[in-house]
Amino acid sequence: FAQITAEESEDEPPSREEGTDARLSERDAAGGKNEGAVTEEAEGDGQREGEEAEQPDQTPVLSNKPRKKKKKRKTKKTAAGETLEDNDLGDIESLLEKIEDTNGLSQQTQSGIIADSRPLLYVEHRNLNPENELKRYFGARAVLGDQRPRQRQRQYVRSTWLTAPKNTWPRYSKTGIAMQLVDTRRGVQYFTFEHHREYQQVQFKFLDAVESMDPNNIVLLLQMNPYHVDSLLQLSDVCRMQEDQEMARDLIERALYSLECAFHPVFSLTSGTCRLDYRRPENRAFFLALFKHLMFLEKRGCPRTALEFCKLILSLDPENDPLCVLLLIDFLSLRAREYTFLTRMFQEWESHRNLSQLPNFAFSVPLAYFFLSQQEERSELELSQARERAARLIQLALIMFPSVLMPLLDHCSVQPDARVASHSFFGLNAQISQPPALNQLTSLYVGRTHSLWKDPAVMAWLETNVHEVLRMVDARDLLVEESEHKRKMRYQSAPRNIYRHVILSEMKEATAALPL
């Protein structure tokens, strides 16, 4: 709008009085009294601060504008800060291409599907805010409602990315947690949280409160130390068991706020090069708070935001993945309809992480390709490639993990046809003969993602591929024997991170299969 009004009023710049009048009326329309820019900036919420900051910039634009257009065209500044003359148009094209490459916009791959050249686990700040996702679904008015006027009385709080501080929270003061940069190797920075002495004393009191088995002791501790992270996480679990979801979610957000206020100045959520070691007890609270927050977001109907948090957890320790979010990231990608992200992850990580050996990736990736093959805006070549890949991968998944099919159909309330029901390959034997560790993975996957398979088009596609697999089984295909051998050799016992994930996910089907 600044540009448009400036174009119109090129010959006669507005007087300063008119400019201020316009700004005041704009501010009135936004629903505030004319209190002056300084107090507005201090008291308003993040968005109002943004508006206030933008408006003073408009006056110089308007007053400086009535210069000749020719002058403006003559010298343009690029992102690199070089001055370009008009006759360098040929160079501009090549420069733009270079900038596109470095900024990582998008580039064509051999397969024809556009791939993002940014790092796989690149996290965007705007996607960490569930309000942005809810606004996309329901519109800003429905989400924000009458929040804006009410937030004017709030004392000034620092803005954070993970959560937005609320008026109802106690005033934040230094808790005794700090973050240190431990090491930098090959462009990757290793951080750790540290507890100061006073925080350690609170921590010992917290452990006593947990041993007492009385939640009221934790409440008392929180009244004295409102931002003690472990107490907030523990009390959140208690509230959730008592069906107070709102309070449980609020306590998790408060824990995240407390931890984010302790971040090291160099620690970045978005770069994907900052690491935290889960083996250090001080770091665990951050992993757990992020995971629990992610679960609440998913239940609240914000799968895109939950996926971003999932990428964030994975980026903190992608090699060890202490909470095994790889068992969850496929489900969130499908829920958020981020099919290209899921297929890209599979292509990039399969070689060194063997993702196809996890039942959730084995089944979700072909499902993602199937959904891509239904998108009419893609070219015919892309659609046929996606269809072929979907068919090939779902057949491999059914051969490798035959025990998934029957429970999946059961959860979807679908009756298999006579040929499938009577065949021993998918029968009860497939479930009984598999190792307990594999049983946990398949039951976790079916319990979590069965709702995505209920679509009639998906079921019809699955049915044709099941019959194709049965044909291969009856023909004594070598692949079937190899897969059976792999199943018996692998999955003897699950690593600890899978147990952590199963306990945190609270899937009844999977927790039942946990060892004592």
133 and 304 in contact (C-beta within 8 Å)? yes
How many residues are listed for the chain in this entry?
516
- Identify which of 304, 347, 293 has the alpha carbon closest to the alpha carbon of residue 329: 304
Q: To the nearest whole percent, how much of the chain has pLDDT over 90? A: 65
Q: 476: buried, middle or exposed (CB in 10 Å: 19+, 13-18, 0-12)?
A: exposed
At residue 146, the pLDDT reads 57
395 and 462 in contact (C-beta within 8 Å)? no
The Cα 184–Cα 180 span in angstroms is 12
pLDDT, averaged across the chain: 82
Averaged pLDDT, 391-409: 97
Retrieve residue 500's tokens: 């952590």
Half-sphere exposure of residue 319: CA atoms within 13 angstroms, side-chain side: 7
The Cα 267–Cα 189 span in angstroms is 8
For the CA atoms of 329, 335, 339, 341, what is the dihedral angle to 10 degrees?
-40
Which DSSP helix (H) or strand (E) runs through 188? strand 188-195
pLDDT in tens, 317-376: 999 999 999 999 999 999 999 999 999 999 999 999 999 999 999 999 999 999 999 999
> Which of the residue ranges 44-53, 177-186, 244-253 would you say has the lowest mean pLDDT?
44-53
- Identify which of 129, 138, 367, 165 has the alpha carbon closest to the alpha carbon of residue 269: 129
**Most confidently modeled of 32-36, 88-92, 462-466?**
462-466
Q: To the nearest whole percent, how much of the chain has pLDDT over 70? A: 75
Half-sphere exposure of residue 236: CA atoms within 13 angstroms, side-chain side: 25
359 and 445 in contact (C-beta within 8 Å)? yes
At residue 51, the pLDDT reads 42
Structure-model confidence comparison of residues 3 and 456, the more confident one: 456
